[in-house]
A and B are shown apart, each in its own frame.
Chain A
Amino acid sequence: MTITAAHDPRTGWRVVDIVVAAAIGVAFGVVFWQWGVVWAPLFAGQVNPLAYLVSGMWLVPGVLAMLIIRRPGAAIFAETLAAIVSALLGSFWGLDVILSGAVQGAGAELVFAMFLYRSFSLPVALLAGAGAAIGEWLHDMPVYYPSTAFEVQLAYGAFMLISGVVIAGAGSWLLVRALAPTGVLAPFSAGRDQPEV
């Protein structure tokens, strides 16, 4: 296959890449906004590290976008955009949510970068979910729990990590697997990974 200079398949973004990454970001911005229904009762009142078991939902767009688009920057872009959209719709955390999204996206992005953007397998997806969770922890602890004991902060981190790996890591990977047979991923190499009939 001929490769044109404008479209290096591993780094250059095509129109379809930008559009799909943006669509994922916007869609999850709305999901974030609605996710309040789930977290609001959990986070109200007492300090409760267990509540972070639902936090993985906030980490999905970065991992998902990268699993589909497979181009450098996809995770940061989609995660940050989702945060911006949720902020525009009205977020409990105000504009800080944007910084939070960028850091979470960077956490996932770093994992894919460590694999040189060549592997998008389930283990890498799980690690990326973990990476995003570490980003979440690094952002949230100094901002929201500065006076909490370090041991408790670690407990928060553990539950963030579990949720990130399960919801954002495994969840995104399963989502891609479910999308592929519908044909909507045909413009992406991610669309190739499906059973043949």
Chain B
Amino acid sequence: MPGGTNPRSDALSAPPASPAATAAVAAPAAPVGVEARGWGWRHAGRRAWAVRELDLRIAPGERVLLLGPSGSGKSTLLMAMAGLLEPSGAAGVEGELRVAGEPPGAVRDRIGIVFQDPESQLVMGRAGDDVAFGLENLCLPADAIWPRVAGALDAVGFPYPPDRPSDALSGGEQQRLVIAGTLAMRPGLLLLDEPTANLDPDGAAAVRDVLSGIARSGSMTMVLVEHRVGDALPLVDRVVALNAQGRLLADGSPAEVFRRHGDALLEAGIWTPDGRLPSPPERDRGLVETQLVADQAAYTYPGGAAPALRRTDVQVRSSEALAITGPNGSGKSTLALLLAGLLRPSAGEVYATEALATGRGHDPMWRWPARDLVTRVGMVFQDPEHQFLTGSARDELALGPIRTGVEGRVARRRADELLERLHLAGLAEANPFTLSGGEKRRLSVATALATAPEVLVLDEPTFGQDRRTATELLRLLAGLRDEGRAIVFATHDREFATTLADRTLRLRAPEAMPIPETSR
């Protein structure tokens, strides 16, 4: 395009001289608006558009809750608003999207974004340095940086000094740190992609307090993606919903949207404020038999000062669902890994009973070869990407069975059945890493199911899931339990835990951080 001129530069009222950086540093943030005109995006390698024909105008200072079922393009839209999508890498772009009247890529320093996975955003070794990183990139003088860092850490209720190593934080603490780093830059547009999905209820409430403070101050435009609609509504004054095809489904004030479109939203798989998980039907259960025993099991990570999991006793039984709950840092994920035979306890024992070991002998589970383990205990990690090993969703599901001796053709047919059941059939050939957050979660559950294990261990299975997926997971897990399988799941999701669990093990917070026991 000759000249490289911006055909709509007249729409820009700000003075041209290095406006963004100066504004972000000197003045308190001025909220900026967002405008989409017939905007659409198709990712490379996909036939379907992620977002299509979107017309949307967000005024400066508005606070918008963006809803949509898994894979509806919410994250794509958020990434585009943040200027993080590269048009030359897209299979298709239509219409236009502007932030503060500019292409988003040109005003990135006025836009802050917080992703689902805090680890994707932490770059420095120490917490304070991480918050300072963005400010350093804005070339702020050093003595102006640290007060802001302290203020931002304070604002998110960060419980440690700034020299805390950022890898010595739980997922929830990391997310709070990321939010602090974003707030420190005082953006005019704050984009949040399920910022509390990874936090324990107390931590999530603390972050929502911070966000509602920002909301009240009116200093930033906010676009929030959040599946827990009830929690998010107090933060926003407008709801925008996309449907599964990435088109606009509803737009308006929260009350109006849920009154007029409530049924359509539920049908599209979107949570609504009063849309509760349906209880699974009561059915006859199989035999209840102890399968796994943790006997005074504890774990300390190599070099860790304090144990990640303090001595714990628990039994896992067939035909039962066991919930592991507790605040961030209490060792839920660690216990899940121990029960799945993937970690060697540093003290105590984790062993399979004869019912599960079935002739495998009595060596401790962590010694079992993978072939013996996956046909008995399946593990679904908190981060689905940690268990993807192949180049397509179908191969992913066929891999476990093939490695345990199932014939390739049979394995692939089973894979297709699982894909169908978890609404992934259209993505059988897609690379697992290119799936949306919700799709990745469903695929990771399916990979664990593919080898038909007797015990299924899941770490935060409903994290970041839409209502349809959560409902489907609930039905699926309840069904597996009723067939006689043992289900163990670590979760922050109280509703999911109460609906599915037969027993709950509540882990306590580490020492020196007393947290009141909440009753179920």
Contacts and interface: CB of A to CB of B under 8 A. Distances in A.
19 contacts: A1-B1, A4-B6, A4-B103, A5-B4, A178-B391, A181-B434, A183-B43, A183-B44, A183-B45, A183-B433, A183-B434, A186-B86, A186-B89, A187-B86, A191-B44, A191-B89, A192-B89, A194-B45, A197-B47
Please indicate which of the listed interface residues A185, A186, A194 has the most CB atoms of chain B within 10 Å of its own CB.
Answer: A186
B216 interface: no
Interface of B: 1, 4, 6-7, 43-47, 85-91, 93, 103, 105-106, 391, 426-431, 433-434
Interface string A177-197: 010111111111101101111
A1 B430 CA distance: 28
A3 interface: yes
Contacts of A195: 45, 429
Given A196-B45, A197-B426, 8 more contacts: A2-B6, A181-B431, A181-B434, A182-B391, A182-B433, A188-B86, A191-B44, A192-B89
B87 A197 contact: no
Q: Which 8 A-B pairs rank lowest in CB-CB distance, beginning with the nearest?
A: A183-B434, A197-B429, A189-B88, A187-B86, A3-B4, A194-B45, A192-B44, A181-B431
Nearest to B432: A182
A1 B6 CA distance: 9
Given A181-B391, A182-B391, A186-B44, A197 B427 contact: yes
Please indicate which of the listed interface residues B45, B106, B431, B433 has the most CB atoms of chain A within 10 Å of its own CB.
Answer: B45
A9 interface: yes
B89 A1 contact: no
A181 B7 contact: no
Contacts of A183: 43-45, 431, 433-434
Please indicate which of the listed interface residues A9, A187, A189, A197 has the most CB atoms of chain B within 10 Å of its own CB.
Answer: A197
B1 A3 contact: yes
A4 B20 CA distance: 15
A135 to B, nearest CB: 29
Interface residues of A, number: 25
A148 to B, nearest CB: 46
B89 A187 contact: yes
Nearest to B7: A2
Interface in A146-197: 178, 180-189, 191-192, 194-197
Contacts of A186: 43-44, 85-86, 89
Contacts of A189: 88-89
A9 B87 CA distance: 11
Contact of A196 (B90, B91, B431): B91
A192 B106 CA distance: 23
A4 B4 contact: yes
Contacts of A178: 391
A159 B93 CA distance: 45
A185 B89 contact: yes
Contacts of A180: 44-45
A180 B86 CA distance: 15
B175 to A, nearest CB: 23
Contacts of B103: 2, 4
Given A183-B431, A191-B89, A197 B46 contact: yes
A175 to B, nearest CB: 14
Nearest to A195: B45
B47 A196 contact: yes
A182 B89 CA distance: 13
A21 B1 CA distance: 26
Chain A at the B interface: SS class: loop
A183 B431 CA distance: 8
Contact of A188 (B43, B88, B106, B430): B88
B46 A196 contact: yes
A94 B426 CA distance: 54
B177 to A, nearest CB: 23
A120 B42 CA distance: 23
Given A188-B86, A196-B47, A182 B91 contact: no
Contacts of B426: 197
B176 to A, nearest CB: 27
Given A4-B4, A183-B45, A189-B89, A197 B430 contact: yes
A182 B44 contact: no
A166 B430 CA distance: 29
A195 B4 CA distance: 32
Nearest to A9: B88
A126 B4 CA distance: 34
Contact of B44 (A2, A3, A194): A194
Contacts of B87: 1
A8 to B, nearest CB: 7
Contacts of B105: 4
A184 B45 CA distance: 12
Interface in A112-155: none
Contact of B4 (A8, A16, A194, A197): A8
Nearest to B84: A187
Contacts of B43: 183, 186
A192 to B, nearest CB: 5
A2 B106 CA distance: 10
A194 B42 CA distance: 13
B73 to A, nearest CB: 15
A178 B391 CA distance: 9
Contacts of B89: 185-189, 191-192
Contacts of A194: 44-45
A41 B436 CA distance: 48
B49 to A, nearest CB: 12
Interface in A1-54: 1-5, 8-9, 16
Contacts of A8: 4
Contacts of B427: 197
Contacts of A185: 44, 89
Contacts of A197: 45-47, 426-430
Please indicate which of the listed interface residues A2, A8, A181, A182 has the most CB atoms of chain B within 10 Å of its own CB.
Answer: A2
Contacts of B88: 9, 188-189, 192
Nearest to B42: A196
A71 to B, nearest CB: 11
A196 B430 CA distance: 8
Contacts of A196: 45-47, 91
Nearest to A193: B44
A184 to B, nearest CB: 8
Nearest to B428: A197
Contacts of B106: 4
B390 to A, nearest CB: 11
